[in-house]
Structure formats: C-alpha cells, structure tokens
Chain A
C-alpha cells in the first residue's frame, strides 16, 4: 500500500532524511519511532504530499507522490504534528469542508462528515465551534479530518502528543479501532505507544532507518536485561550483598545519594526474569524497611544507544555522541 524507496529530503544543506526505504502492506499499522528531529515528520509529510522528496520515490496506493501527486494525496488522510483546524467553524461544517476539499461528491458530504464524527466520538459536539473545544476533542477533530472521505492510508504524526493520560488512553483506543481495513503509519517518540498499537516498528535516527521489526522482537533485542529500582532503609553494603545473592540478579549498583539514611539501588536482572518478589522477600526477611520497589522500562534514549551501538556504521557516523537525544 505504501512503498518508499531510497527517499532523501534535503532543505538547503541540511539533510532531513537520507536514503530511506520501507514497505507497508495493506491493513498494517506501522509505527515510526525516533527522537525529535530524527526525520519522522519529514518522512510523513512526503507520504502525505506536503512536499516531494529530493531523491528517491514514494508510492501511495500505487500512485507516485511526485508524478501523480493529486491521486496519491486523495488516498491519504493526514494528521499533522501541529493539530490544526479552522477555529471559527463548527465541527460538522469543518468536516464537510474537508470532504469537499478531498473531492467527496456533494450528495455524500453529510454522510462522510457523520461517519468521521461517529468514528471519533464527536457527535455530541457536532454543532460546537472548534475553538471552544478542549485539546482532547480538537485532537479528535484532527483525526476525524484525516478519516473524512475514507482514505485507504492514514498518516498520523504524533497523535497522542500533548494529551493528558486519560486522553492518551482514549486516543490509543480510537487508533486501534481505526485499524480494520486501513493502512496506518503513525509516529511517536514514546515507546509504549508503539508496543500497544503497531504491527511493525521502524526506528529512525538522524534521518536513517536503524531498525525495522515487530515490537516484540525489538523489545527482545533491546531488553538484554530487566531493571528494578529499589529503596531500602538499611546500610548500603549489607543490602547490596544480600540482593546480589538472589538468582537472576546480574548486578546491583547503589545510587550515590541516600535519602534519610535509606539506600537506593538499580538492580539489573537476566532477560525475561522478574525478580521483584524475591527481592521483596529478601528485604523483609532481613527486617529492613522497604520503601520503594519498581521495575523500570528502558527509555527511548537507552534503546537508541543500544541500537546505534549495535550498528557499526551508524556508530561511526555518530562519534560526536548522542547527547542531543
């Protein structure tokens, strides 16, 4: 449904994406994952038809985005990183306008707008002026805008950015419900987002593709070790010794700063081993006060360090370091 081959985009002397190639099959949900400035938005804008690539080619539903831009665009619904809508229009009249712009025939306009509103739960605010809606609702208006006209491909650029946790959950639910018969490319810089929604993940770093895999496989590669943070009201050396004896624990490293005489540690464990219960038992059996015990997910920054280090070529290019992640 989407095919990108050798796409490069330069702005003046700045190269935003460099020689990117990937395919997305019909009905698939693919996540573009990468830190800010990695080239996600540029890639998505090329797919959505905002601007053409400097080199290489991209096809949407069989249409070349450069040679047949209008047909390619007609197959795409786009949700921009910066949520935008005419604030002085009502939700319904805005979606009808979007329908007209996308070439929906006049008799079907009302239905197209209604379908998009239904899919995004916007019926209660159909007559409200967009400017008076909350951020969560405006974000949904943005999704409804992308859905209007039933495009085969949806390009969603950071659909959950800037929402509060409840709204994020609602938005993920909404995106999952869109799957059905559509091809979706969404971008994010938050890992759980991809794990929850995507069939496949493309990791982009500095305008290049670093990895393409399923979220599960990717997780296995990345999660070489599990990680637990623990805070105990006891002496550092005793705790370290005790925890080190638990089977499955790889290393115990104390944190430099203790709070109120309590010691805190990061415990690395073997892959796929959850040792939290053993740790808790060890601590309570020793009669220490357990203040905190939680497993810590790997942040995107750490994942990037892992992936980038695995890939020699990229590592060489990145001798300057990854401090801007």
Chain B
C-alpha cells in the first residue's frame, strides 16, 4: 500500500516534469527511425518476406535506445530524494525499506512500459499490410522488457548510492556497458572464461529473444540479475544504520 503511494508520487513527479516527455520523444523518434531503416534494409537485401529477420534487427537497435534512455530515467529515483533530504523523512514514516525499493522500482518499470507501448504501432501497421507469426515478436518484446527491467534495477541501485544524478547516470552506463562488452572480444578470453562471461552477458542473453527463442535459462538469468540489484539497493538503504545520514 505504501509502496503504491511512493510509486504514484514518483510517477506524478516524473510526468509533471518536461524531462519525461523529452526522454519519451527521443526514445520514440530513435525507435521509429530504426524500425523504418531496418525495414527498408530488409526489403532491399531480402527478396523474401520482410518479416523474417526483421525483429532481430529492430530489437537489437531498440536495445541501444533503451540502454541510452533508461539510466536517465533511473538516475533521479534515490539521488534526488537524498539531495532534497526527503529520503530522511521517508525513513521516519511507518514504511519498510523494502516497500520503498518496490515503489521506486515499480514507478520506473511502469514508465518504461508506457514508453514501449507506442513502439507497437509500426508493428501493428505492418501486420495490417502483411500478417505474420506473432510469437517471435512477442518473444522479442519479452526479452526487451526483461533487459530494460535489468537496466532499471541496476540504475536504481546506483541511484541509491549517490546524491548526484549525473554520477548516478554515468556509473549506470559504466556497469551496463561493461556487461555488454564482456564478450565483445572473444579472442581476449580463454574458452573456459568465455563460457562464464557469455553466461553473464546481458546482451548475449538478449540475443536469443530477438530470434524468437524464449529459453528458460535466459529468463532465469534476467530474474537473478534484477533480484541481485534490487537486493543491493535494499542493502544500500539499510547502510544508513551504520554509516549515518549526511
């Protein structure tokens, strides 16, 4: 109940600031442009049906836009409250730390989902011209949603460690890009290490979804990744008990 109160206030604050709309606009412009250019490209090179392979291209591009936007959504979640001093007040209300984490997390996830809704429009248009198998598209969306929520949980944690929003966004970029580049140069790692790294790479895990494959192991990995950072966030809030409040 209190988590919902926090989530609601968070969403109100988000949508009453112009930043939310700028982020939404940039996200949709980029996503829309990538959809268009990928579609044109597929039509040029493939004499076959346009849909085969299209989702892979589109969602690999959407991944980048999501990576660009979400740390800017999560950066203020805790950092702003710490800067304002409202975080200290929240700790004096009868609310558990876990509820605070849940409220903030839910607000960012809801914003992300709202951000994704308009991206279904071009897909629906395409479907109206040429119906296609929906399963691969839905798999790709599921993958993107899991990936985005992973970004959010990471960003939420980083935001809980600082009161500077720029630091919050930059460190989140750093961590997420690290999880991406982990396997970029496959020659740099030996085979044993590579297998472990591949298992941990967010983006390699995401790749399967874009091909229309929902692998339970991938879903479990994302769930673990998200839970891990939510746990860290919870611990980060609890650290005031021995570190004090600035």
Q: How far is the CB of B86 from chain A (nearest CB, A)?
A: 5
Q: Is the CB of A50 within 8 A of B5?
A: no
Q: Is the CB of A11 within 8 A of B242?
A: yes
User: Which of A18-26, A78-86, A276-284 forms part of the interface with chain B?
Assistant: A78-86
Q: How far is the CB of B88 from chain A (nearest CB, A)?
A: 5
Given contacts A51-B244, A86-B13, A103-B2, 17 further A-B contacts (CB under 8 A): A11-B242, A48-B92, A49-B92, A51-B241, A73-B92, A76-B92, A78-B89, A80-B85, A82-B88, A83-B85, A85-B86, A88-B16, A88-B17, A98-B93, A100-B2, A101-B95, A102-B93
Q: Is the CB of B241 within 8 A of A100?
A: no
> Is A124 part of the contact surface with B, judged by Cβ < 8 Å?
no
Chain A residues whose CB sits within 8 angstroms of the CB of B95 once the complex forms: 70, 101
Chain A residues whose CB sits within 8 angstroms of the CB of B94 once the complex forms: 70-71, 73-74, 101-103
A257 to B227, CA, bound (A): 70
Chain B residues whose CB sits within 8 angstroms of the CB of A11 once the complex forms: 242-244
* 9 residue pairs A–B, Cβ–Cβ below 8 Å: A45-B245, A48-B92, A52-B241, A73-B94, A76-B92, A80-B85, A80-B88, A86-B9, A88-B16
> Is A97 part of the contact surface with B, judged by Cβ < 8 Å?
yes
Q: Which of B9, B12, B89 contacts A80 (CB 8 A)?
A: B89
A89 to B92, CA, bound (A): 20
Chain B residues whose CB sits within 8 angstroms of the CB of A52 once the complex forms: 241
Q: How far is the CB of B33 from chain A (nearest CB, A)?
A: 32
Q: Is the CB of B93 within 8 A of A50?
A: no
> Is A87 part of the contact surface with B, judged by Cβ < 8 Å?
yes
A49 to B89, CA, bound (A): 10
Decide: A73 near B88, CB < 8 A? Known: A11-B244, A50-B240, A101-B5: no
Q: Is the CB of A84 within 8 A of B241?
A: no
A76 to B13, CA, bound (A): 26
0/1 string, B55-90, CB within 8 A of A gives 1: 000000000000000000000000000001110111
A-facing residues in B1-57 (Cβ within 8 Å) = 2, 5-6, 9, 12-13, 16-17
Q: How far is the CB of B163 from chain A (nearest CB, A)?
A: 12
> Is B96 part of the contact surface with A, judged by Cβ < 8 Å?
yes
Q: How far is the CB of A149 from chain B (nearest CB, A)?
A: 9
Give the A-binding residues of B (Cβ under 8 A): 2, 5-6, 9, 12-13, 16-17, 84-86, 88-96, 240-245
> Is A165 part of the contact surface with B, judged by Cβ < 8 Å?
no
Chain A residues whose CB sits within 8 angstroms of the CB of B244 once the complex forms: 11, 16, 42, 51
A51 to B244, CA, bound (A): 8
Q: Which of B9, B13, B91, B96 contacts A50 (CB 8 A)?
A: B91
Chain A residues whose CB sits within 8 angstroms of the CB of B6 once the complex forms: 101
Chain B residues whose CB sits within 8 angstroms of the CB of A98 once the complex forms: 93
> Is A188 part of the contact surface with B, judged by Cβ < 8 Å?
no
Q: Which of A49, A70, A97, A145 contacts B5 (CB 8 A)?
A: A97
Q: How far is the CB of A61 from chain B (nearest CB, A)?
A: 12
A289 to B186, CA, bound (A): 93
B-facing residues in A56-115 (Cβ within 8 Å) = 70-71, 73-74, 76, 78, 80, 82-89, 97-98, 100-103
Decide: A145 near B241, CB < 8 A? Known: A73-B94, A88-B13: no
Q: How far is the CB of B1 from chain A (nearest CB, A)?
A: 8
